[in-house]
Structure 1
Amino acid sequence: MNIKVMIVDDDELIRSSLKYILATDTAIEVVNTSSNGDEAYNNLQNIDVDVILMDIRMPICNGVIATKKIINQYPNKKIIILTTFDDDDYIFEALKNGAKGFLLKNVSPDKIIEAIKIVNQGSLLLHPDVTTKLKSMLHMEKSTDWQEYSLTDSEVSIMKLISEGYANKEIAEKIFLSEGTVKNKISDILDKLNLRDRTQIAIFYLKGGKKQL
């Protein structure tokens, strides 16, 4: 089944370019393009969408606000934020609002296609530069006593790898566990910390164990 994608950007040229790029992969189908967050939100009432490519800076309704509105109403939608190096003020808010990934606008076409597939599978996608910015913004405490939260060493390792954007299969390979075991451990982490999803796990880890999301 094709991955149904919505493109949201106020620049018509960018919308057309992204649509052209995504059309080169037979596993992806662009079902809608919208020019701002409000338009995207309204269009979702009538369109089945799996992944949304969302520009972060738009008039009327930007990507941060649109992400919050959409995830509140459609929690299963997966949103990838299109950003630039100077969007620090927006990145953390978009992540808190439920974004599942961040892509720099200057990435290659194959990276955009790969990102859509990764996020559609349920993984969190953070560009290394974005992760570095987040760590700096959140003032991560490296001395956190994770045992305070009844977390095992392997669970902390999994949290760290999730915060770095690794998928379950990659995590399993890195810590020498089966993919099924990794999935079970992620469920345990969510239960222990009373968190909702991988995004909240990443924020929790990057904030050094603080739950204010």
Structure 2
Amino acid sequence: MPIKVIIADDNSFIREGMNIILSTYKDFQVLAILKDGQEAVDYCMKHEVDIALLDVRMPRMNGVEATKLITEKTKTKPVILTTFDDDEYILGAIQNGARGYLLKNNDPERIHDALKSVYHGTGIIQDVMLEKIKSTLANRQNTKEEPMLDSSKFTERELEIMSYIAKGYANKEISEKMYISGGTVANYITSILNKTGLKHRTQIAVYYLTGKVYD
């Protein structure tokens, strides 16, 4: 069964381009191409959608706002696709439940692989964005604006797994690195989510890097 995707972008060139790209893959089905975040929310409320691919800057409702409503009201997994690698948008989208954050200048295979990863439960965030989050963390630590990660709440294994998640490793890769089973990795991740109140892996990565829990 193909992965059901919608594309929301106010730029018709981008909308149609992404539609053409994804439609070339048999494992994707593009259900709709939409002009803004409000249309994306309305569509996800009425239809079964696996992934909502959202531009970050759109009229009426941007991708960050749409992400929040889609996450709260549907089972659809939002992924932000943008040309803007800005810390504010990265953190805001993840705070609102985005499962991934990709730049539009990626090649089609990278986008294809990333969306498949999200569909199968792995949050994705590009290295350049992680580096910007690390930079933000360093600035906050210097100005003491944000608390540090409270490592006392976690076991050594949990902290190690969090570090691998922050580096973008999938469960299978983590299990190979730590010489434990994939099921054990999943159990540790469940424990981390329970302790932090977070919802998914991408939020764990940001929490590990910033010491801040996003509700």
Q: Is the 8 A contact 2:123 2:200 kept in 1?
A: no
Aligned to 1:103: 102
Aligned to 1:6: 6
SS of aligned partner of 2:45: coil
C-alpha change, 1:59 and 1:167, in structure 2 (3 Å) is same
* Alpha-carbon shift at residue 86 of structure 1 (Å): 4.5
Q: Is the 8 A contact 2:36 2:60 kept in 1?
A: yes
Q: Map of 1:166-181 to 2, 5 A cutoff?
A: 166-181=169-184
- Which amino acid counterpart does residue 21 of structure 2 have in structure 1? I
Q: Is the 8 A contact 1:190 1:197 kept in 2?
A: yes
Q: Map of 1:5-84 to 2, 5 A cutoff?
A: 5-74=5-74, 76-84=75-83
Aligned to 2:119: 120
Q: Matches of 1:51 and 1:111 in 2, distance apart?
A: 16
Q: Is the 8 A contact 2:45 2:73 kept in 1?
A: no
After the TM superposition, which of the residue ranges 168-177 and 29-38 deviates more from structure 2?
A: 168-177
Q: Is the 8 A contact 1:4 1:28 kept in 2?
A: yes
Q: Matches of 1:70 and 1:15 in 2, distance apart?
A: 19
SS of aligned partner of 1:82: strand
* Alpha-carbon shift at residue 14 of structure 1 (Å): 1.0
Aligned to 1:190: 193
Q: Matches of 1:87 and 1:194 in 2, distance apart?
A: 25
* Alpha-carbon shift at residue 70 of structure 1 (Å): 1.2
Structure 2: 5+ residue stretches without partners:
142-147
Aligned to 2:210: 207
Aligned to 2:145: none
Q: Name the TM-score, length of structure 1 as normaliser.
A: 0.90
Counting aligned pairs with the same residue, the percent is 45
Q: Is the 8 A contact 1:36 1:59 kept in 2?
A: yes
* Alpha-carbon shift at residue 145 of structure 1 (Å): 5.5
CA offsets per residue over residues 113-159 of structure 1, 9 Å max, x none? 10110000111101000111112223376x8561x10x222211111
SS of aligned partner of 2:46: coil
Aligned to 1:88: 87
Residue 162, structure 1, aligned to residue 165, structure 2: yes
Q: Matches of 1:17 and 1:212 in 2, distance apart?
A: 33
Structure 1: 5+ residue stretches without partners:
none
RMSD: 2.0
C-alpha change, 1:43 and 1:118, in structure 2 (3 Å) is same
SS of aligned partner of 1:58: coil
SS of aligned partner of 1:44: helix
Q: Is the 8 A contact 1:124 1:162 kept in 2?
A: no
Q: How many equivalent residue pairs?
A: 209
